[in-house]
């Protein structure tokens, strides 16, 4: 029953219709996907231009009619009709697009299965019975959403087809989730980095359409309790930090290499925008956005994770990497397939743990004021903390002074897990 409430709470952000507790696409949409799934001979969609017309038709059968970015049509046409080779275009329209249409046909049943599956997960540390169904993870409410990689594939196919309703996202601190701006930016201000961002996404669709990955990815909003009566990890004040004699956990410093290439199990920092994903779906192409292009499943979190507050962080476990790349910002280039060989955990998540912690924006000298030092320390603490150990942290920071006796009892590192190496 509770899962059904979760579904209702997010249904206005999803493109499917919920009626008499059944999820479905409007029939005109089903017909359009069926035609697309049979390939260009049936759908006539064999160019970027015709693809955008098909997308517009499908959108007309849905309830949200907020206009797409004005150059999106030109962007689709530029990418699929001019920038990629004819051979690549043939493969895209002949094989990949039909496979995506198939995934989209399955989307309502994938969602049903998601909400019907047992919602209590016992393997997330000690947090028995934690709910994990797809819902908005609102600000100041800690929570976790566990999605199969297949459901994420369907969500990202919805983004590609620009099907998500857009009207209430901004007012609820949610970024745009459709790909119209990704394509319109390609046309409005053509540059190779934008072309290569799209190549990463297209490559992801190519991979999942030839072999759908079978694992899971979790997205968690972590919150430090500002109010001491709350039952989760407290947000320490300046005094607690300055008096703290708790040792840091062990860490290693690596002076070369890229975060995503690190083979040790580590927390991998996303130097995030307070809006998870930053400019990934518009023009951005630096650390966070690049990560979202090579591990596109991260994008799914942008659907349901509103803006982070100072006392919040986001942790994603299991996002698979699909692309190799070179360069950074304007020199960013997709350079082929990447096979992610990371192990998986008992929940089927790749052991890639990414934490998004947004730093202050251009703070200048303000960053050295107490208030801002504490803000940054707590932001990092939130990202690196383990919500399973909230009781231990509560003891650590209790009543503004540390109970030093407890230090000898195993609270030697704030992370609680000395195996974690921090890679910056």
Ligand X SMILES: *[C@@H]1O[C@H](CO)[C@@H](O)[C@H](O)[C@H]1NC(C)=O
- Name the site residues for ligand X (rule: CB under 6 A): 117, 121, 146, 148, 214-216, 347-348
Asked if 155 and 289 touch (Cβ cutoff 8 Å), the reply is no
Q: Which is nearer to ligand X, 81 or 265 (CB)?
A: 265
Q: What is the closest distance, in whole angstroms, from the C-beta atom of residue 128 to ligand X in the complex?
A: 13
How far apart CA 301 and CA 304 sit, in angstroms, is 6
**Closer CB to ligand X, residue 77 or residue 216?**
216
CB neighbour list of residue 255: distance below 8 Å, 6 or more residues apart: none
d(CA 25, CA 17): 6
Nearest distance in Å: CB 275, ligand X: 27
> Minimum Å distance from CB 3 to ligand X?
12
Shortest Å, Cβ 200 to ligand X: 24
Q: What's the rounded Cα separation, in Å, for the pair 112 and 116? A: 6
User: CA 141, CA 294: separation in Å to the nearest integer?
Assistant: 29
| Residue with Cβ nearer ligand X (185 or 216) | 216
Query: From the CB of 204, what's the least distance to ligand X, in Å?
Result: 19
Q: How far is the CB of 116 from ligand X (least distance, A)?
A: 11
**71/218 with CB nearer ligand X:** 218
Would you say 165 or 318 has its CB closer to ligand X?
A: 318
Q: Residues 69-88, buried b or exposed e (16+ Cβ, 10 A)?
A: bebbbbbbbbbbbebbeeee
Choice between 150 and 206, CB closer to ligand X: 150
Q: Going by DSSP bridges, is the β-strand pair 312-317/216-223 parallel, antiparallel, or unpaired? A: antiparallel
For 36, counting Cβ atoms within 10 Å of its Cβ (0-12 exposed, 13-18 middle, 19+ buried), the class is buried
Give the closest residue to 361 by CA, choosing from 269, 267, 239, 274: 274
Q: Which is closer to ligand X, CB of 64 or CB of 340?
A: 340
Which residue's C-beta sits nearest to ligand X?
Answer: 348
Q: Rounded to the nearest whole angstrom, what is the least distance from the CB of residue 406 to ligand X in the complex?
A: 34
Nearer to ligand X, 133 or 159 (CB): 133
Q: For the CB of residue 213, give the shortest distance to ligand X in the complex, in Å.
A: 9
- DSSP of 322-365, one letter per residue? -EEEE--GGG-EEEEE------B-TTSBBS-EEEEEEPPSS-GG
**Beta bridge partners of residue 349, listed in sequence order:** 216
**For residue 371, with 0-12 CB atoms within 10 Å meaning exposed, 13-18 middle and 19 or more buried, which class applies?**
exposed
Residue closer to ligand X, measured from CB, 181 or 353: 353
CB of 233 to ligand X, least distance (A): 24
**Distance of closest approach, residue 119 Cβ to ligand X, in angstroms:** 8
Pick the closest to residue 290 from 260, 249, 320, 251 (CA basis): 260
3/209 with CB nearer ligand X: 3
Give how far the C-alpha of residue 411 lies from the chain's centroid of Cα atoms, to the nearest Å. 31
How many residues are there in the chain? 424
């Amino acid at each position: 029953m509770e899962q059904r409430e979760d579904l209702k709470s997010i249904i206005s952000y999803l493109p499917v219709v919920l009626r008499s507790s059944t999820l479905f696409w409007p029939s005109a949409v089903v017909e359009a996907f069926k035609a697309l799934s049979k390939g260009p001979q049936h759908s006539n969609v064999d160019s970027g231009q015709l693809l955008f017309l098909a997308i517009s038709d499908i959108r007309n059968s849905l309830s949200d009619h907020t206009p797409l970015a004005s150059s999106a049509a030109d962007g689709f046409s530029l990418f699929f009709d001019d920038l990629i080779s004819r051979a690549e275009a043939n493969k895209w329209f002949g094989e990949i697009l039909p496979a995506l249409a198939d995934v989209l046909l399955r989307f309502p049943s994938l969602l049903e299965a998601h909400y019907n599956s047992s919602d209590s997960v016992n393997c997330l540390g000690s947090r028995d019975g934690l709910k994990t169904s797809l819902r908005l993870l609102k600000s100041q409410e800690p929570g976790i959403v566990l999605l199969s990689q297949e459901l994420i594939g369907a969500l990202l196919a919805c983004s590609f087809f620009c099907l998500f309703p857009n009207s209430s996202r901004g007012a609820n601190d949610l970024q745009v989730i459709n790909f119209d701006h990704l394509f319109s930016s390609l046309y409005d201000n053509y540059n190779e980095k934008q072309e290569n961002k799209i190549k990463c996404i297209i490559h992801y669709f190519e991979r999942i359409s030839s072999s759908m990955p079978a694992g899971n990815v979790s997205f968690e909003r972590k919150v430090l309790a500002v109010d001491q009566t709350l039952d989760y990890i407290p947000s320490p004040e300046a005094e607690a930090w300055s008096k703290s004699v708790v040792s840091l956990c062990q860490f290693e410093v690596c002076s070369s290499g890229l975060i995503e290439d690190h083979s040790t199990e580590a927390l991998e920092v996303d130097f995030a925008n307070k809006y998870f994903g930053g400019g990934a779906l518009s023009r951005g192409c630096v650390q966070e956005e690049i990560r979202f292009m090579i591990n596109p499943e991260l994008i799914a979190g942008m659907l349901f994770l509103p803006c982070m507050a100072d006392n919040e962080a986001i942790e994603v476990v299991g996002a698979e990497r699909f692309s190799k790349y070179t360069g950074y910002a304007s020199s960013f280039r997709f350079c082929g397939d990447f096979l992610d060989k990371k192990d998986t955990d008992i929940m089927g998540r790749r052991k890639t743990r990414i934490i998004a912690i947004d730093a202050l924006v251009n703070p200048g000298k303000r960053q050295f004021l107490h208030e801002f030092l504490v803000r940054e320390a707590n932001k990092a603490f939130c990202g690196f903390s383990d919500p399973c150990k909230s009781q231990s942290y509560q003891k650590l920071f209790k009543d503004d002074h540390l109970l030093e006796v407890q230090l000898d009892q195993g609270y030697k590192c704030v992370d609680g897990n000395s195996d974690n190496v921090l890679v910056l």
